[in-house]
Structure 1
Amino acid sequence: MTMKKTFSILTLSFVITLFAWGQETEQRPQTILDEVVAVVGKNIILQSDIETQYLQYRMQGYIEGSSSTIKCDILKKVIFQKLLLNQADIDSIVVSPVQVEQELDRRFRYYISQFGSQEKLEEYYHKPVDQFKEEMREMIGEQILQQDVQSEITKNVTITPKEIKAFYKAMPADSLPLINTSYEVAEIVKKPPISTAEKLKVKEKLLTLRNRILKGESFSTLAILYSEDPGSAKKGGELGMYGRGELYPEFEAVAYGLKEGEISGIVETEAGYHIIQMIEKKDNFINVRHILLRPKISPIELQKAANYLDSIRVLIVSDSISFKMAALKFSDGQNRFNDGLIINPNSGNAKFQAEELDPKVFYVIDKLKIGEVSNAVSYTTDDNKEAYRLLKLVNKTAPHKANMKQDYDIIQKATINKKKQEVIDEWVKIRAAKTYIHISDKYSNCSYFDIWQSK
């Protein structure tokens, strides 16, 4: 597999992975006498930039292609990125420090979730998260700018069903991608109720903690000791920068009304009960601390939920009610109006490949035939509450070559990406002709050297 010769469409997923960044900072070539190998407008490209990305490419297992060819491709990609930055400068597009901080926080929440804890991440890389963020801050800012410019370039790109069909017909049969086995799964959810006594118990504990803070104890220390939000507790309850619409509505409504240092009363959300302290507010972004306590569901109520779902399953299996109607009438899931279908967050549709499914879900549905419904199985909801659900294997497709009937959404996405790519390529051709570009003679063997070199 060789590197693409065209300019790949940039999305936030084009961001260097944490693994690659860790390797870059640890294994950046030390013996290279650095030099400027290209200038694009006001932006320079260093030899070390090319060498670092070349090293990452080889470390990912790619062995095809000579080093000179791969480095030419890398330089071409970096020139494209610098052209985007140059355009951002021309158009006076700026990224605020708050946006950068918010994006850093978002990414590190994801990275930490992948490692299991902040401590495990830091232990793996021998580096604290704060140092990682500092090293990545400039890169993240540039990537946001590049993404903003590219979104502006492709914002008017649309496709018609006719174009999708034409794209598919133009693909040689041997070039059609192989689609792995996919699954469609539906659910009927039962969330056991929490007793009034349990709720009162949690509120009283939270009020006690609030009073201790008001009397002088540290909010951060009490968050570390008592908060049941695993993501923020070890950071003293601090959430990082968030914008409007990114937190629970009830939480936001209270948080945005707080002054710096002020402590809220008890706030109830789907996650549980909180008290909040404002750290800072910048424009429409806030950074707060919170302590979260979650009321516990009793084992008796959990068993009742399982029994309730098993009784519904009996009705479905005996054809007394359809799964679709049972989901609509009895499910506590928000997808009850969509036949109980579980939506894949990566694609936006109901199809999952095996590796995209929760392993516990796959373990259950892998034993089912199409149309069969499982017994009640326990699971943890998105807001970390215990619940039960029935799972139905709605459909399962065997591995196959992509076709319009089964894979329309995949072909549609490929079509619009191709059209966006064509728009990007044309934009690059125009901008490169209007922008000062100087490329070092050491890259004179690259196919674009004479075309792009400013005269």
Structure 2
Amino acid sequence: MVLPLHAQEIIKETQADTVKPARVNPNKRVKIDGVIAVVGDFVVLDSDIDLMYRELQAQNIPVKDVKRCELLGKLMEDKLYAHQAIQDSIIVADAEVNETMDKQIDYFVEQLGSEDKMVEYFKKKDIETFRAELFDMIKNQKLTEQMQKKIIDEVEITPEEVRIFFSQFEGEDVPIFGAEMEVAQIVIKPEVSEEAKQEVIRRLKEIKQDVLNGSSFYSKAVLYSEDPGSRSNGGYYKMTRKTPFVKEFKDVAFSLDEGEISEPVETEFGYHLIYVEKIRGQVIEVRHILMKPKVSNEALIAAKEKIEKIRQRILAGEIDFAEAARSESDEKETRNSGGLLMNPRTLETRFELTKLPPEVYSEVSDLKEGEITQPILSDDRATGQSYKIYTVMNRYDEHKADYALDYTKIKELALKEKQRKIIGEWSNEKIKETYIKVSPDYQGCDFANDWVKN
């Protein structure tokens, strides 16, 4: 049945509906389940709000002051985006949803103690029911994200718009930017022996032969891959030539035919076995198995001794930190910038203190000018073990926004404000076009959007 695209209305209670309580204050918890809203092709149940409460609590987020009306408004927004995403033929792959769901379940199990306790906590009949409901919720979330991205992707802002945005602030209304710092690092990776490399290559070739003899590549990836981002979903990735994968991986992946498996491929992350599962025009779906050669204790000791010598040379004034990073550091992403870390959110080298990666903040927050940390053993899940030293290159105190000095940050604020307005306009337009019902039990809610018209 095709629903008419016209104005909003209140749901009329019928015998077909789940039994509903008498009229209640919409800010009170409602225990009996039922349809409380319809947005396009989606319904919202009371139990959906209960699930959101429990998700927030499982993530240690306070819910004391979070009202049911707020959560219903958020759910209806998400349903509106998801509904429109389907109309616009936006597709989210099940494999991507499963990967996120597995990570979410792993987190809940870690927080709650076991899978059984998780099912009991969320008041579900069994794990299959919980997974099915969580799958739908995550898929809708991803549709929402893709739709929002589509709305704002092409939004740009001109220097004149930035100037006008900033000119509206005066006196105490001028934005305050928090204290920031620039942090540099030198990374020394332990050398991997040729024997360790050959052992990994041998194991990958054995796996390839097993797959050619009928074994499942998916199962082999789940069992043996050392890539934490894809192991749980059988090493799956969807990619184009513009996808930010390392060059060696992409070059081999795009040289393979559908159904073909590569020989072991070396990248900075280790050795990969790449299987092209599907080719769809410019998009390929691959699975891979990553294995990393094991580092010996002797190699770790040698790496620590090397970085200690570099540190002593810097402290003795023989070489400055930036020069040492350019000539000695084993991390190419920061080597050319003299070791400066790049803020992935702003693409600048300045970090607000609270936005530094926690493992970096704990090491540099109390450093004085010119000080260098002791060598730190890092065990990155992606790149493996290495020794690092850090220093603070520059500190910037908390200050009122300065148009000349803080233009990039001001531009970011102005762009977000413009995007917010465009999303608001889009929502208002789609609410008018989309079939929407709201239960009388929630008609008293003070929604941010005009979900109900009297």
Q: Deviations over 1:137-168 (max 9, x none)?
A: 33333334333433343344333455445545
2:278 to 263, 281, 288: 281
Q: Which residue of 1 aligns with 2:303?
A: 305
- Decide which of 72, 83, 93 is 2:88's aligned counterpart: 93
Give, in whole Å, the separation in 2 of the partners of 1:144 and 1:428. Answer: 18
Q: Cα RMSD (Å) of the superposition?
A: 4.5
Q: Which residue pairs with 2:234 in the alignment? A: 238
What letter is aligned with 2:182? E
Q: Helix, strand or coil: the match of 1:32?
A: coil
Q: Using the aligned pairs only, state the percent identity.
A: 29
Is the contact between residue 371 and residue 393 of structure 1 (CA under 8 Å) also seen in structure 2? yes
Deviations 1:391-430 (A, max 9, x none): 11123455x4653377655443332222222222233333
- The amino acid of 2:360's aligned partner reads V
Q: Which amino acid aligns with 1:186?
A: A
1-structure distance, mates of 2:235, 2:334: 29
SS of residue paired to 1:338: coil
2:191 pairs with one of 180, 193, 210:
193
2:137 aligns with 139
Pick closer, same or farther for the CA change 1:35–1:314 going to 2, 3 Å: closer
State the 1:298 CA deviation.
Answer: 3.7
CA deviations 1:275-308 (Å, max 9, x no partner) are 4556x43633425353x43223344443333333
- State the distance in 2 between where 1:255 and 1:120 align: 40
Pairing partner for 2:81 from 76, 79, 84? 84
DSSP 3-state at the match of 1:143: helix
- TM superposition score normalised by structure 1: 0.70
CA apart distance, 1:79: 4.0
Q: 1:340 — aligned with what?
A: 339
- Structure 2: unaligned runs, 5 residues or longer: 1-28, 121-125
Contact persistence 1:250–1:269 (CA under 8 A) = yes
**Count of aligned positions:** 412
Taking structure 1 as reference, are residues 141 and 33 closer, same or farther at Cα in structure 2, changes over 3 Å only? Answer: closer
Maintained 8 Å contact 2:33/2:45: no
Separation of aligned partners in 2, 1:206 and 1:156: 43
Are 2:32 and 1:32 aligned?
Answer: yes
Structure 2 equivalent of residue 432 of structure 1? 431
What is the correspondence of 1:195-234 to structure 2 with a 5 Å cutoff? 195-208=193-206, 210-211=208-209, 228-229=226-227
SS at match of 2:336: helix
Residue 104 of structure 1 pairs with residue 97 of structure 2: yes
* 1:416 alignment counterpart: 415
8 Å CA contact retained: 2:101, 2:138: no
Cα distance in 2 for residues equivalent to 1:209 and 1:55 = 42
CA contact (8 A) 1:277 1:288 kept: yes
Note if contact 1:437-1:454 (Cα within 8 Å) is conserved in structure 2: no
Q: Looking at both structures, which has the greater relative contact order when contacts are Cα pairs under 8 Å and sequence separation is at least 6?
A: 2
Q: Which amino acid aligns with 2:295?
A: I
Residue aligning to 2:10: none
Aligned partner of 2:239: which letter? G
Q: CA contact under 8 A between 1:272 and 1:294: conserved in structure 2?
A: yes
Residues 173 and 222 from structure 1, CA distance in 2 versus in 1: closer, same or farther, beyond 3 angstroms?
same
Q: TM-score, normalised by structure 2?
A: 0.70
Q: Quick one: structure 1 residues 253 and 126, their matched pair in 2 at CA, closer, same or farther if it must change by over 3 Å? A: farther
Specify whether residues 150 and 302 from structure 1 end up closer, same or farther in structure 2 by C-alpha distance, changes over 3 A only: closer
Amino acid paired to 2:62: G
Q: Which residue of 2 aligns with 1:61?
A: 62
Letter in 2 for 1:107: T
* Structure 1 pair 216–166 and aligned structure 2 pair: CA distance change class (3 A): closer
* Cα distance in structure 1, aligned partners of 2:415 and 2:380: 34
Are residues 169 and 129 of structure 1, via their aligned partners in 2, closer, same or farther at CA, if it must alter by over 3 Å? farther
Asked whether the equivalents of residues 98 and 135 of structure 2 are also in contact (C-alpha less than 8 Å), the reply is no
Q: 1:238 to 1:427 in 2, by over 3 A?
A: closer
CA contact (8 A) 1:112 1:121 kept: no
Using the TM superposition, give the Cα deviation of residue 186 of structure 1 relative to its aligned residue in structure 2, in angstroms: 0.4
Inter-partner Cα distance in structure 1 for 2:215 and 2:35: 54
Structure 1 spans left out of the alignment, 5+ residues? 1-28
Alpha-carbon separation, structure 2, partners of 1:57 and 1:298: 43
Deviations 1:246-302 (A, max 9, x none): 655444554562554x65433322222344556x43633425353x43223344443
Q: Indicate how the Cα distance of structure 1 residues 40 and 362 shifts in structure 2: closer, same or farther if over 3 A, else same.
A: closer
Mean CA deviation greater in 118-127 or 307-316? 118-127
* 1:216 positional shift: 6.7
CA drift of 1:340 comes to 1.2
SS at match of 1:199: helix
SS of aligned partner of 1:344: coil
Taking a change above 3 Å as real, the CA distance of residues 180 and 155 of structure 1, as seen in their structure-2 partners, is closer
**Larger relative helix fraction:** 1
Aligned CA distance change for structure 1 residues 255 and 113 (closer, same or farther; 3 Å): farther
- For residues 330 and 76 of structure 1, the distance between their equivalents in structure 2, rounded to whole angstroms, comes to 54
